């Protein structure tokens, strides 16, 4: 995640669509089929890791493994330390508390043809992937500086992290996968005041570290946020 501090006014007027209770078939915009490239789109080298297989469950389908996780029968490996695991029973499920989780949809979030499980919850919840007989935490919201959602862009699903914690400070990071253990593309975009003490001087618009025009930036934002799926 790009942690460079940026002061931003967020481009308003984008449609935010709830990701809990919606299916992929309900997203009917050009982001599902477009393959054109805007100024600043950059492809990074593939990063791959592999998880340990579990002989007892390796023959199960992804859906069967996720069902077992939901039923509390198997645990999931933690996102940042796969040696650690957690059961769904360890989460606050379906309570009235702000940090409670609930079972969301299953969508193909890593573009591999198999659906991941969405746990709607605080800061966008958690996305779980099943592979090689194991369940893995694939993505997770981590405070207001890393709120989790996903969107459709250039014909693929992208994981979107948003930082909107401060007034005038908006920065976004997107990741595209070809399988949850293979990240194939990233994108950062943001806008900031040229002078944080004088908003009248206008803003700086940035895509992947390159300053771009306001028109180019707003075109990118309109595509990404029109198809964003919120999983709070």
The closest alpha carbon to 175, from 212, 150, 143, 211, belongs to: 150
Question: The whole model's pTM is what?
Answer: 0.79
For residue 3, tell me if it sits in a domain.
Answer: no
Closest CA to 75 of 66, 50, 125: 66
CA 53 remoteness from chain centre: 25
- Structure confidence at residue 58 (pLDDT): 67
pLDDT for res 70: 98
- The reply to whether 215 falls in a domain is yes
In a domain, 26, yes or no: yes
Alpha helix stretches (DSSP H) within the chain: 62-70, 214-226
Q: Name every residue whose Cβ is closer than 8 Å to that of residue 210 and which is 6 or more positions away in sequence.
A: 39, 40
Burial class (CB in 10 A: 0-12, 13-18, 19+), 15: exposed
The 3-class secondary structure across 100-144, one letter per residue, is: CEEEEEEECCCCCCCCEEEEECHHHCEEEEEECCEEEEEEECCCH
The answer to the question of residue 6 being in a domain is: no
Q: Residue 124: which domain range?
A: 17-230
Structure confidence at residue 185 (pLDDT): 98
Residue 12 is assigned to a structural domain of this protein: no
**Spatial contact of 39 and 223, defined as CB atoms under 8 Å apart:** no
Residue 105 lies in a domain: yes
Contact 76, 128 (CB under 8 A): yes
| Domains held by the chain: number | 1
d(CA 131, CA 216): 39
Per-residue pLDDT of the chain (232 residues; tens, 9 = 90+): 444 333 333 333 333 334 454 444 444 345 554 554 454 443 333 334 344 444 556 689 999 999 999 999 999 999 999 999 999 999 999 899 999 999 999 999 999 999 999 999 999 999 999 999 999 999 999 999 999 999 999 999 999 999 988 777 799 999 999 999 999 999 999 999 888 888 888 889 999 999 999 999 999 999 999 999 999 9
At residue 160's C-alpha, the angle toward residues 158 and 82, to 5°, is 85
Residues sharing a CB contact under 8 Å with residue 228, sequence separation 6 or more, in sequence order: 14, 15, 16, 17, 149, 150, 151, 160
Integer CA distances (angstroms), 165 to 83, 120, 162, in order: 31, 20, 9
Is residue 224 helix, strand or coil?
Answer: helix
Question: 67 lies in a domain?
Answer: yes
Structural domain contains residue 132: yes
DSSP label at 83?
T
* Phi, psi for residue 60 in degrees, rounded to 5: -75, 150
């Amino acid at each position: 995640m790009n942690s460079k501090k940026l002061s931003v006014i967020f481009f308003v007027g984008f449609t935010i669509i709830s990701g809990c209770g919606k299916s992929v078939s309900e997203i009917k915009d050009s982001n599902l089929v477009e393959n054109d490239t805007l100024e600043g789109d950059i492809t990074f080298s593939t990063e791959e890791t592999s998880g340990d297989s579990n002989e007892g469950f390796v023959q199960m389908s992804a859906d069967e493994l996720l069902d077992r996780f939901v039923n509390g029968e198997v645990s999931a490996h933690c996102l940042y330390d796969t040696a650690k695991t957690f059961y769904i029973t360890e989460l606050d499920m379906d309570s009235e508390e702000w940090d409670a989780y609930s079972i969301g949809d299953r969508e193909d979030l890593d573009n591999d043809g198999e659906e991941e499980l969405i746990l709607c919850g605080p800061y966008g919840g958690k996305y779980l992937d099943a592979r090689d007989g194991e369940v893995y935490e694939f993505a997770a919201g981590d405070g207001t500086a890393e709120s989790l959602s996903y969107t459709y862009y250039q014909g693929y699903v992208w994981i979107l992290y948003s930082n909107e914690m401060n007034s005038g400070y908006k920065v976004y990071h997107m990741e595209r996968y070809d399988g949850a253990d293979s990240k194939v593309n990233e994108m950062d975009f943001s806008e900031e005041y040229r002078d944080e003490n004088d908003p009248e001087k206008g803003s700086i618009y940035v895509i992947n570290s390159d300053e771009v025009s306001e028109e180019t930036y707003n075109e990118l934002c309109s595509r990404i946020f029109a198809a964003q799926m919120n999983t709070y």
